[in-house]
Structure 1
Amino acid sequence: MLNRQETNNGHRREREFELGDEEFRFLASFMSRETGIVLSDHKRDMVCGRLVKRLRALGMRDFSDYCDMLRGPKGASEVENLVNAITTNITNFFREPHHFDHLRDQVLAPRLLERPRRPRVRIWSAGCSSGEEPYSIAMTMADALKGGGGWDALVLATDIDTNVLRRAEQGLYPLKAVDHVPETYRKRFLRRTNDSDMVQVSDDVRRLVRFRRLNLHENWPMKGLFDAIFCRNVAIYFDKPTQRQLFNRYADRLHMGGVLYLGHAESLIGVSDRFEVVGKTSYRRIQ
């Protein structure tokens, strides 16, 4: 359905699809029910812009057709494509570096001193996007545990977006993307490829990471507990009740004393009393 809109200079341009009130309300409700993600009114243009390609690919006339499909028997198989289109993936290596310093000094270093009978470390990167965060965790882990032979160390990296997970598994990044990786880590854990503009994460680091698709709003298949969980810039997409439920589930999946790392715009104040602050947007499980 073609709609005409005025541009800033007064000329008329054609807009291929228009997302009406009813269709947006349905999509917002559908995303909330399926993923917990809240789409407020001010995100309507973003939703419209990101779904236009999907409507074209499906040969649909308008958003009403797309909503009808989601309501019907094909809806379940379309959820993945819808989520991939809507979700935002902005990340980089060693983003908010204080978290990795805390992980090294306050989580991993004490574990080395404990010398447990069965040395095991598990860290979860929830909302891992294209892999920069879990690989940053794995580099920190590989460096911190280099003197601890025999450690069973693993980073679980999950995301709801299958497109970014496929890219993350390759461990290939533009050369400019690794500017924030510490120089010593760049030398040890990154390899130049035949393409002079690309680098690849080393096999030793990639072996420490397991990528899996996971919708945080659904059941979690993991049974063991984690030493630390990174969930940064994820909860901002959820409303307060969903955040409370999510953080309570995270507490259940952390060892007592395990650490939860949040994004710079996120906080547990007024949301959960199962953690105490131990650093900048860093929280330790206390109950």
Structure 2
Amino acid sequence: MTQHALSGLTAGPPTDSELASIARILHQDSGIVLAEGKASMVQSRLAKRLRALKIQDYQGYIDFVQTGDGASERKQMISALTTNVTNFFRENHHFDFLREQSLPPLIEHARAGGRVRIWSAGASNGQEAYSIAMTLAELAPDVEKLDIRILASDIDPVMVAYGAEARYNQSTVEAIPQALRHKYFLSDDDQYRAVPKLRNMITFRELNLHSPWPMQGKFDIIFCRNVVIYFDTEAEITLWRRFEAALIPGGYLHVGHSERVPLEQGFKLITAGITTYRRPLQIASESGEF
């Protein structure tokens, strides 16, 4: 790296060859496909990393992230190139589905001593997970006494830390209905932090969906919305199959508005609602542990 650490100059856009190398690493590590013509986007997202490392050009950066010393920076690169778009109660029909169909029997199951496990996969900075938690808390004021847990995972460690802190600015929380905002967030100037009742329900973890998953057991509900749109077809289908296997019989999978599981390719899942799928009831199974 030293021969590239001679200048703090800002690098221009990557060449076609450099862009191809970056795209290959991104796809290899995350399954994400970097579309053609994204040189300016790559420049805007990686320029800060090059300046921080005092690397003058993209080829030097590419060489570095492929060394043992560059392993940590390689993760930073993947995080920088990952799109994080989220809102509280985004695609609200899924939360209507939780309130009206999937959560009431699961809450009764928990009140009878059972476990309930929900996974927000590709959770970004946690707004989806906290929306799920608010929906739960409204249905079950006694949720803190129940064995109900939400796993919120994302590939970006910055987003994971953000979500765990549970602190959002005023413009972000405006998407939360006013009554829920007053009930579940404490204000401090223009910052709003989720109350402990919500934070205690959620475990945040850094997780690459393209890599092996450390969780044991299965989930009652999985949210993975607007994530696989960045994957190629093979990676998409692989992920849908892994989610199917991670659901308990009777469990639900919620996907993004522009996504669909190709059921014609031999999936066990069935359509259960708008961009919602269900694994048919077959055999009893334990919920997931994390």
Q: How high is the TM-score relative to the length of structure 2?
A: 0.88
Question: Percent identity of the aligned residues?
Answer: 41
Aligned length: 273
For 1:230, the equivalent position in structure 2 comes to 223
Query: What residue ranges of structure 1 are gaps of 5+ in the alignment?
Result: 2-13
Give 1:82's aligned amino acid: M
Shift of 1:88: 1.3
SS at match of 1:41: coil
Shift of 1:220: 0.4
Can you list the C-alpha shifts for 1:190-217, whole angstroms capped at 9, x where unaligned?
1112x2x121111111100110000111
Give runs of aligned pairs for residues 51-130 of structure 1, distance below 5 A: 51-114=46-109, 117-130=112-125
Contact 1:119 1:150 in 2 (8 A): no
For 1:264, the equivalent position in structure 2 comes to 257
Shift of 1:149: 7.4
SS at match of 2:149: strand
Can you list the C-alpha shifts for 1:109-145, whole angstroms capped at 9, x where unaligned?
1224456642221100001111111011111111222
Paired residue for 1:275, among 266, 269, 272? 269
Following the alignment from structure 1 to structure 2, what is the Cα–Cα distance between the partners of residues 148 and 31? 40
Can you list the C-alpha shifts for 1:23-63, whole angstroms capped at 9, x where unaligned?
11111111111111111213232112211111111111211
Matched, 1:42 2:37: yes
Q: 1:223 to 1:243 in 2, by over 3 A?
A: same
Following the alignment from structure 1 to structure 2, what is the Cα–Cα distance between the partners of residues 114 and 165? 29
Give 2:65's aligned amino acid: L
Contact 1:247 1:272 in 2 (8 A): no
Give 2:52's aligned amino acid: A
Paired residue for 2:181, among 179, 186, 190? 186
Aligned CA-pair RMSD: 2.1
Give 1:98's aligned amino acid: H
Matched, 1:172 2:203: no
Query: What residue ranges of structure 2 are gaps of 5+ in the alignment?
Result: 283-290
Shift of 1:274: 2.4
For 1:214, the equivalent position in structure 2 comes to 207
Q: 1:149 to 1:30 in 2, by over 3 A?
A: closer
Can you list the C-alpha shifts for 1:82-127, whole angstroms capped at 9, x where unaligned?
0221111111111111101111221111224456642221100001
Contact 1:93 1:132 in 2 (8 A): yes
Contact 2:110 2:146 in 1 (8 A): no
Can you list the C-alpha shifts for 1:212-249, whole angstroms capped at 9, x where unaligned?
00011111011121110110110011011101110111
Matched, 1:163 2:171: no
Query: Which is worse superposed, 265-274 or 93-102?
Result: 265-274
Q: How high is the TM-score relative to the length of structure 1?
A: 0.89
Give runs of aligned pairs for residues 5-44 of structure 1, distance below 5 A: 16-44=11-39
Greater strand fraction, Structure 1 or Structure 2: 1
Following the alignment from structure 1 to structure 2, what is the Cα–Cα distance between the partners of residues 112 and 211? 22
Following the alignment from structure 1 to structure 2, what is the Cα–Cα distance between the partners of residues 148 and 55? 46
